[in-house]
Amino acid sequence: MNNLTIATWNVNGLRAGLRNGFLDWLNTTSPDVVCLQEVKAYESQVDVDFSAYGYSAVWNSAEKAGYSGVLTLSKNLPKETRVGLDELRFNDEGRVIRHQYDSFYLYNIYFPNGQRGHDRVEYKLDFYSSLLEECLKLIAAGKNVIITGDFNTAHQEMDLANPKENQNTSGFLPEERAAVTEFLDAGFVDVFRKLYPDLVKYTWWTYRFQARKRNIGWRLDYYLVNSNFVGAVRDVIVEDQVTGSDHCPVLLKLEC
C-alpha cells in the first residue's frame, strides 16, 4: 500500500499564481500529483522548469490565448496520458487531461461555466453527460476513476453561502445541480461530503465585496470517486487559508 496525495487548484492564471506564491506552496505541500485548472497560458509562456521541483508536466492549453487550460504536475510518470474527451467538440478549450496510474484513472478537469446570461449552460450540461458516459465505460471495464477539478457547480444549498439569492445563477441552476447528481446516482461519491456531511467549506470566493474576508463563498472544487475505490480515500482537505487565486487548493489523501 502506498500513501498518495493529489491536489487540485484552479489558479486563475498560472503566471499570476507564480507571482503570488504558487511555487512556495508547491515546495511546502509537495503533493504527488497536482491538477491545475484555468492556467490561461501556453507552455512556452511559463518560464519554469517543473522538473527542477521533481515534477513532470502535461499541458492541455486552450486554442484561444489566455483562456481556460489545464496542467498536471506528477512526481511519478503515469502509465498513459490523454488530453481531451472522446467527444471531439469539447476539445478546443483545453479542459481535460486523463492519466492512468497503477490503480486508477485520474481526470483533471476545468468544467465549462454556464455564463451569467446562461449562454453556455447547454454546452456545460452536454460536457457533463459526455464525461459521465466515458467514465462509466472505464468502470464497466473494471477500472477505478477519480474526477477532480473546478466543477463550476455548487451541488447542495450548504455548498454556497447564499443559496436563495443564487437560484437563477449559473453554477447553482437546478439543471446544473442535477448533472452532478447524475454522477452520484451512477455510483460516484463526493468524498469530501461523505467524510464531512455537515461541514461547510468553500473553495471559491468572488474578488468583489470582500467575499473571501467575509467567507461568502462557493464549494466548486470536488473529488468524485467511484464507489468501489472509496475505501482508498483517507482524507480530503480544503486549504482555504491558501491565497494566490480566487479558488483554494483541495487535497485528496489516498492509501492504495
Catalytically active residues are 150
User: At 173, is the secondary structure helix, strand, or coil?
Assistant: coil
Q: How far is CA 252 from CA 6, 232, 238, 243, in A?
A: 5, 10, 9, 19
| Identity of the residue numbered 156 | Q
Q: What is the DSSP string of 187-216?
A: TEEEHHHHH-TT----SB--SSTTHHHHT-
Handedness of CA 30, 53, 36, 226 (dihedral sign): negative
CA nearest 35: which of 15, 13, 60, 10? 10
Residue 248 in grid coordinates: 483554494
Q: Which residue has the cell 468553500?
A: 202
